[in-house]
Amino acid sequence: MSKTNPDRNVGRRNVISGAAAVAGGAALAAGLPASAQAAPRSGAAVANNVTTDLITVTPTDKRFPDLVRGTNQRWVATPEKVHLVTTTAQAQRAVQEAANANKRLTIRSGGHCYEDFVFNSETQVVVDMSGMNQVYFDASKNAFAIEAGASNLQVYETLYKLYGVTIPAGSCNSVGAGGHISGGGYGLLSRLHGLTVDYLYGVEVVVVNANGTARTVVATRDSTGPEKELWWAHTGGGGGNFGLITRYWMRTPGATGTDPTQLLPKPPSEVFVHSWGFNWSQMNYASFTRLLENWGNWHVANSAPNSPYNSLFGLLKLNHKSNGQIGLLTQMDANVPNAQGLLDDYLAAVSAGVGVTPTAMRTRMGEHSAMPQFKAPRKLPWYIATDWLSGGNPTLRGKYKSSYSRTAFTPHQIDMMYKHLTLAGYSNGDALVQVDSYGCKVNAVQPGDTAVPQRDSIMKLQFQTYWTDAADQTPHLNWIRDFYKEMYGPTGGVPVPNANNDGCYVNYPDKDLGDATLNTSSSTWADLYYKGNHTRLRQAKATWDPSNFFRHAQSVRLPGTPV
């Protein structure tokens, strides 16, 4: 979710969501025995003042315009209705009504889908999951339940404040759990703790049988047979593929006992947050090349699961020259042995020989409007840092592309990045390539253990460009498409898995991967997202969505269906 909800740039969020709205009845849970803690909502058993009625909004309702678009303002739908659900029973009812009427249904959780998979011209019914946003400990599963409409920040706030634990999810506060988790999910703690799906214990899904009957299924890590395959499909298979996700249960594999505070990872008590800006006015080809070589080589040397740098996560924000700066943002556990020395050594290694004096990072960085502005590392409590580094601006239009890197950047890739980030005919301070640290604990899992197959990469790239006026779309799309096609020109314009590249991230969907003029390789978009796990996902699709009721432009296809 559910739909695909990708991680976004790191920035300062605009609005904080209150814990009371997140936890429901769980505010007292930390001091209660497990049997007395919050229980999931279903049917008439609704917590607090949540209605038991299915709320349906039609075009005559003044709320309608706000409910038919997501964060990316490129995509606006004209459905017949939007259902706002607050319980699993309501979600199943909404799906059944659409199935009975043969209506095209899509699902929105956080609204961050990069493509038009939720809001498009074929959408007739939207199920909005934002009303299902509880986060609580479910004693019956001995795991933490996260409803599909909960945002990242709601999840962090409840898990940490009530239980002292967390999950390694994304850095944008408003991304919804529904698609973020099902697509794999990663964030600033992933080098330390792995991917979000590495902690997925169970999933509750509304599916549609071959005869058109909707039913709710719970599949867990302990399931067998088809249910185990449904669980596995949600460990990175992406949202909108197999059914409507209503909730997840999270627990560390191998965790024992019933104490909730021991069932998920504990985040660092304090972290160093550091930001640097490299002024483009001082940068030339040689200094740019040295910076990218340093960055890549450092990750080659420091991305093993047991690396002393497994708690360090960096974001290299390669902004277009018209922005004025290249940004470097870093978070690291402040309590590891010699933390300050390790951080100093990392910063020295990344900046060595660049010949540009770093300054404070400015505020204009992609879609976010504010960034921490301090040149020296600053020690902050973990939750405060997470709160500070989250946020987004839902007023922009955008286009995105992704890739995984298994090695340092090749000379060709560095040349293409310099060419397109300094392109004189294009001026957009909100165009960039963000390179995220990856590897370490992420790579301690085998490619087939979860549906996420990219388990030996050391960097993850997100190509981004933003604009506000629909009339200005063409030059921005041309820039990012030309950039990406040339960057991966040696492999047909896309990052076909090889010694250097490892495909694309399903939570950063890109319809261009299916365009034969932009992807001239023999690899389909499904190959790039799923690699060798694609066949198994198609088999799960055949079992759980045999009529292809849940579908979008890049949904998992039924076996025998062209991709």
Whether the CB-CB separation of 32 and 137 falls below 8 Å is answered with no
Cα distances (Å, whole numbers) of residue 411 to 88, 249, 281, 293, 402 = 52, 44, 23, 9, 19
Q: Give the position of tokens 């049997």.
A: 35
Mean pLDDT score, 9-33: 27
State the Cα–Cα distance between residues 266 and 230, nearest whole angstrom.
28
Gyration radius from the chain CA atoms: 22
Instruction: State which H helix or E strand residue 89 sits in.
Output: helix 88-101
Q: Give the position of tokens 């659900």.
A: 85
pLDDT at 391: 52
What is the 8-class DSSP label of residue 514?
A: G
C-alpha angle 194/112/399, rounded to 5°? 100
Sequential DSSP letters for 283-349 = --HHHHHHHHHHHHHHHHHS-STT-TTTT-EEEEEEE-GGGSEEEEEEEEETTSTTHHHHHHHHHHH
pLDDT digits (tens, 9 = 90+) for 430-479: 999 999 999 999 999 999 999 999 999 999 999 999 999 999 999 999 99
| Sign of the four-CA dihedral 485, 183, 240, 82 | negative
Closest CA to 304 of 450, 499, 438, 504: 438
pLDDT at 388: 63
Whether the CB-CB separation of 516 and 537 falls below 8 Å is answered with no
Residue 124 vs residue 10, higher pLDDT = 124
DSSP E strand stretches across 51-199: 55-57, 81-84, 105-108, 125-128, 135-138, 143-147
pLDDT digits (tens, 9 = 90+) for 33-69: 232 233 444 333 333 444 568 999 999 999 999 999 9
What is the pTM (predicted TM-score) of this model? 0.89
pLDDT over 90 percentage in the chain: 82
Burial class (CB in 10 A: 0-12, 13-18, 19+), 20: exposed
Alpha carbon dihedral 212, 216, 222, 228, in 10-degree steps, equals 20
The two beta strands, 125-128 and 81-84, are parallel
What is the 8-class DSSP label of residue 76?
A: B
> Residue 370: pLDDT band by 50, 70, 90 thresholds?
very low
- The answer to whether residue 368 scores a pLDDT higher than 70 is no
Terminal-to-terminal C-alpha distance of the chain: 22
State the Cα–Cα distance between residues 375 and 20, nearest whole angstrom.
35
Closest CA to 443 of 490, 411, 404, 482: 404
pLDDT over 70 percentage in the chain: 86
State the Cα–Cα distance between residues 145 and 2, nearest whole angstrom.
16
- The answer to whether residue 13 scores a pLDDT higher than 80 is no
One-letter amino acid of 67: L
Residue 9 vs residue 480, higher pLDDT = 480
pLDDT at 53: 86
pLDDT at 401: 98
C-alpha angle 465/471/477, rounded to 5°? 30
DSSP-based helix, strand, coil % in the chain, nearest 5: 30, 20, 50
How is the beta sheet containing 313-319 ordered, strand by strand?
Answer: 378-381, 270-279, 325-333, 313-319, 431-437, 459-467, 397-405
pLDDT at 384: 59
Mean pLDDT score, 304-319: 98
Length of the chain: 563
Closest CA to 507 of 451, 443, 447: 451
Count Cβ atoms below 10 Å from residue 471 Cβ, excluding itself: 6
CA 549 to chain centre: 24
- The answer to whether residue 11 scores a pLDDT higher than 50 is no
- Collapsing DSSP to helix, strand or coil, 376 comes out as coil
State the Cα–Cα distance between residues 77 and 24, nearest whole angstrom.
32
Instruction: State which H helix or E strand residue 463 sits in.
Output: strand 459-467
| Sign of the four-CA dihedral 351, 356, 357, 359 | negative
Burial class (CB in 10 A: 0-12, 13-18, 19+), 281: exposed
Instruction: State which H helix or E strand residue 201 sits in.
Output: strand 200-208
The two beta strands, 214-220 and 200-208, are antiparallel
State the Cα–Cα distance between residues 133 and 147, nearest whole angstrom.
5
State the Cα–Cα distance between residues 180 and 18, nearest whole angstrom.
21
| Sign of the four-CA dihedral 262, 263, 265, 266 | negative
Q: Give the position of tokens 């951080």.
A: 343
State the Cα–Cα distance between residues 373 and 288, nearest whole angstrom.
23
pLDDT digits (tens, 9 = 90+) for 477-517: 999 999 999 999 999 999 999 999 999 999 999 999 999 99
